[in-house]
Structure 1
Amino acid sequence: MSAAEDQTGPALARRASSRRSMFDALPGGRVNYLEPKGDAGFFGPDSMAWKVSANPVALAVGGVAAVILELAEPRVRSGVWDHSTFRTDPLARMQRTGEASMIVTYGPTAAAQARIAMVTRMHERVSGVTPEGQAYTALEPDLMTWVHVTAGWGFLNAYRRYLEPGMSLADQDRYYAEGAALGRAFGAPDPPGSVAAVDALFDRLRPTLRPHPIIGEFLQIVSTTSPLGLAGRALQPLVVEAAIDLIPPDLQRSLGLPVRPLRRQAAHALLKGLASVGKAVPSEIVRHAHERVGRPLR
């Protein structure tokens, strides 16, 4: 068997136990996901959110794609780049973002509400003016809506790409409808709750999305940084390639994103195999959340 063949399909599944630590390395360990018993949090075990966010490949690829789209919006770009530690401490920033995502998705209600309140307090301090002269505050409803929608869009479409390409439209609509409550909690007043509504928002905002060197800087940083140690850093260039490939083709062109067909093919093959392993070997967070609500994973 060649080295390339050994990185896909059955070979990855046979090594699932050796990769358990990588999937368990997702952040969020400061929250007790086992207590209080019966607390379903924001979503619960029958939700699309618990299904989609259980897979680390969907989170990794979808998360990078979401940030690309966020940075294409000039006000969001300035808010993120000028008021966060992404440039100076990208690893810590990625860990905090991943931790928040796991807490609000799988954590008990009190922990999720506390994290939402903490993020909101941080956003209250973010305001400024873009280089183009646009004033912004992080809590502007349209900006909060765009950030919320791009995150959900990224996670869902990465999940579909690597795990369930045949997902029904009804399940996709249910994913967005579930997420609307969380979006409102974060400050998005009327987040879209269906595929059609999300598509309409994309169409409405397309003319405002702009290429910028910061997007390239972000892609360079995230290509060499991972909260998952050496294994994660080896995968990051392929995660970035897969994230770019997830962006709608017209936006790839208008944002000037690099097109590398051979690298994309390699990324798709490897990440599809890893996504299958991630599905077979759920993280400790996911297992504990299911145990908390009396639905342990088998």
Structure 2
Amino acid sequence: MSNHDAVVPHEDYGFFGPDSVSWKVFLYPTALSIGFQRTVVTEMYEPFLLASVNDTGAVSKRPSLRYDRTLQYMATVTFHDSRSVLKASDILVKIHSKITGTEPISGLRYDANDPEAQLWIHLTAWHSVLYTYEKFGPGKLSPEEEQQYWAECVRAAQFQTINLDDVPRSRAEMRAYYARMRPILAATEATQQHVEQLLDSASTLLPDSVLWWPVAKLTQGLFRRGTIATLPRWMRKMGGVQQSPVTDALVTVTLRALFRLVAQSVEAQRFIIRLGSPLTAPVVDPILCAVPPTNPVVWTPEEARAHYGMVRPVEQYDRIRAARAETSLPQHAAADGSEPLLAFG
């Protein structure tokens, strides 16, 4: 029996499938590694999101578990079957419903399900994955592929409490979104602490042993410098992380060669994913191994929700807010990242 024979197929192709640009970009080794690390680092500059992360202690208390489960969710939306995506989306909204509190600088309330907060999380992920694909991978997409990529970004946004009218449809609109967000972004001492921890998070994903120590330290150093090389100068200064243009150039050449090497071996990619994010491996394995699903169809979100009797996250969020208003009970940040988000029954 080959290794591929043991791979459990998905029920269907989910919401993208083999003809999607999302699969092309997210399957390249940059996506679920340095692309993801850039995502979580960039997220920390949004004050309300930082407040929720800081209050729950999700990153500081259980960094490897949090990393594993967040990466699993990101891969699930892109690669898993429709039933799994809808269930993950439903559970995520419920978990986020527990996370509310006060942002300490403004004194305003934050809500993890707030559409603006979810939009920031979603767009930093899709932009970071594409940007690292271009910088450390094969390069820019064709104009047609890029148009399709941003259309698929809009589709993926339907699994969060996001106003779809706010989702960029092009690179130019993505730039405009960042320009709109920049005056809102900030870096406190807590921001810088989280940025520092997340820049070094690659080493926490490898086994804690003497044998793995050199690999962990090398990976940590490369990913740290590689992630910083993707950040604009103002964000580096704000976050208290600096490095020279020479370091930027050297780490870019090194990582480009490394990812090109890894991309040539499916087994190497599977091994790395199992090592760094065991929960993500069953999600990505059927795609890497080209194991077709039991029902080779691609769904639209509307078709899948009608089939499984699920409501949209925005409707789910409306119900949560209505119930919250009825009880008038104070809400506090409670979820710490330990919930089995994707532990499907």
TM tier, smaller: 0.7 to 0.9
Q: Determine the structure 2 residue equivalent to 1:240.
A: 224
Q: 2:88 aligns with which of 98, 103, 115?
A: 115
Q: Does 1:79 align with 2:29?
A: no
Q: Secondary structure at the match of 1:207?
A: coil
Q: 2:127 aligns with which of 141, 147, 153?
A: 153
Report the alpha carbon displacement of residue 287 of structure 1 after superposing the two structures with TM.
5.1
Whole-angstrom CA distance in 2 between matches of 1:84 and 1:183: 26
Question: What is the one-letter code of the residue matched to 1:235?
Answer: T
1:5-46, CA deviations, whole angstroms, 9 ceiling, x for partnerless residues? xxxxxxxxxxxxxxxx9xx9xxxxxxx75132xx11121011
Report the alpha carbon displacement of residue 254 of structure 1 after superposing the two structures with TM.
4.2
Whole-angstrom CA distance in 2 between matches of 1:59 and 1:166: 18
Aligned CA-pair RMSD: 2.5
Which structure has the greater CA radius of gyration?
2
Q: What are the equivalent positions in structure 2 for 1:251-266 lying under 5 Å apart?
A: 251-266=235-250
Q: Determine the structure 2 residue equivalent to 1:268.
A: 252
Distance of aligned partners of 1:89 and 1:260 in 2 relative to their CA distance in 1, 3 Å threshold:
farther
Q: Does 1:180 align with 2:164?
A: no
Q: Determine the structure 1 residue equivalent to 2:66.
A: 93
**Equivalent residues of 2:229, 2:252 under 8 A apart:** no
Whole-angstrom CA distance in 2 between matches of 1:213 and 1:170: 42
Whole-angstrom CA distance in 1 between matches of 2:55 and 2:264: 40
**Equivalent residues of 1:57, 1:278 under 8 A apart:** no
Q: Identical aligned pairs, as a percentage?
A: 23
Whole-angstrom CA distance in 2 between matches of 1:184 and 1:83: 26
Q: Secondary structure at the match of 1:53?
A: helix
Whole-angstrom CA distance in 1 between matches of 2:89 and 2:108: 27
Whole-angstrom CA distance in 1 between matches of 2:43 and 2:83: 28
Whole-angstrom CA distance in 2 between matches of 1:176 and 1:240: 27
Q: Determine the structure 1 residue equivalent to 2:99.
A: 126
Mean Cα displacement is larger for which, 99-108 or 201-210?
99-108
Report the alpha carbon displacement of residue 274 of structure 1 after superposing the two structures with TM.
2.0
Distance of aligned partners of 1:135 and 1:33 in 2 relative to their CA distance in 1, 3 Å threshold:
farther
Q: Determine the structure 1 residue equivalent to 2:303.
A: none
TM-score by length of 1: 0.80
Question: What is the one-letter code of the residue matched to 1:279?
Answer: A
Q: Secondary structure at the match of 2:183?
A: helix
**Equivalent residues of 1:226, 1:233 under 8 A apart:** no
Whole-angstrom CA distance in 2 between matches of 1:280 and 1:288: 17
**Equivalent residues of 2:96, 2:113 under 8 A apart:** yes
Q: Secondary structure at the match of 2:73?
A: helix
Q: Secondary structure at the match of 1:56?
A: coil
Whole-angstrom CA distance in 1 between matches of 2:56 and 2:127: 24
Distance of aligned partners of 1:120 and 1:278 in 2 relative to their CA distance in 1, 3 Å threshold:
farther
Q: Determine the structure 2 residue equivalent to 1:215.
A: 191
Report the alpha carbon displacement of residue 82 of structure 1 after superposing the two structures with TM.
1.5
Q: What are the equivalent positions in structure 2 for 1:31-110 lying under 5 Å apart?
A: 34-36=9-11, 39-110=12-83
Report the alpha carbon displacement of residue 255 of structure 1 after superposing the two structures with TM.
4.0
| Number of aligned positions between the proteins | 264
Distance of aligned partners of 1:287 and 1:60 in 2 relative to their CA distance in 1, 3 Å threshold:
closer
TM-score by length of 2: 0.70
1:98-132, CA deviations, whole angstroms, 9 ceiling, x for partnerless residues? 11112221111111211111211111111111111
Whole-angstrom CA distance in 2 between matches of 1:279 and 1:205: 34
Contiguous gaps of at least 5 residues in structure 2: 271-282, 297-345
